[in-house]
Structure 1
Amino acid sequence: MLLFRFCHRGAALTHVVEFLLTGVLGAFLLMAGMVKFFEPFRTMFATQIELSGLPFPALARVAGQGGEISAGLLLLAVLLGTRKFTEAQVNTLFTSAVLLALAIMVVAIFVHLSPAVPAAVLPLQTKPPVLTVVIMLLLLLTAYLRRIRLRAE
Structure 2
Amino acid sequence: MKYNKVINLVLGASMFMFGFLKFFNPFKGWYSVQMAAGQFDQVFYGLGIGGELTAGLALLLLTGVRQRISFGSYALFSTLASASVIVMMATATYVHLHPAVPADVLPLKIKPPIIPLFFLTAAIANIMILGKYYKLSKSKALL
Same fold per TM (> 0.5)?
yes
Q: Is 1:104 matched with 2:88?
A: yes
Partner of 1:145: 129
Once the two structures are superposed, residues 37-92 of structure 1 have per-residue CA deviations (whole angstroms, 9 ceiling, x without a partner) of 111000000110001112x1x21110111101111011112101124433332222
Cα RMSD, aligned residues only: 1.2
Give the deviation of 1:99 after TM superposition. 1.2
Give the letter for the 1:140 counterpart: I
Q: Is 1:39 matched with 2:25?
A: yes
Give the letter for the 1:20 counterpart: V
3-state DSSP class of the match of 2:25? coil
Unpaired runs of 5+ in structure 1? 1-14
Aligned mates of 1:84, 1:135 — CA distance in 2: 27
Aligned mates of 1:105, 1:20 — CA distance in 2: 19
Give the deviation of 1:144 after TM superposition. 1.2
Q: Is 1:68 matched with 2:52?
A: yes
Aligned mates of 2:54, 2:71 — CA distance in 1: 20
Give the letter for the 1:91 counterpart: A
Residue-pair matches, total: 137
Aligned mates of 2:81, 2:36 — CA distance in 1: 26
Aligned mates of 2:19, 2:58 — CA distance in 1: 13
Aligned mates of 1:151, 1:95 — CA distance in 2: 14
Selected match of 1:28 from 6, 10, 14: 14
Give the letter for the 2:14 counterpart: F
Unpaired runs of 5+ in structure 2? 138-143
Selected match of 1:94 from 78, 86, 99: 78
Give the letter for the 2:49 counterpart: Q
3-state DSSP class of the match of 2:101? coil
Identical counterparts, % of pairs = 29
Once the two structures are superposed, residues 88-144 of structure 1 have per-residue CA deviations (whole angstroms, 9 ceiling, x without a partner) of 322221121011111111111111111110000011111010110011111111111
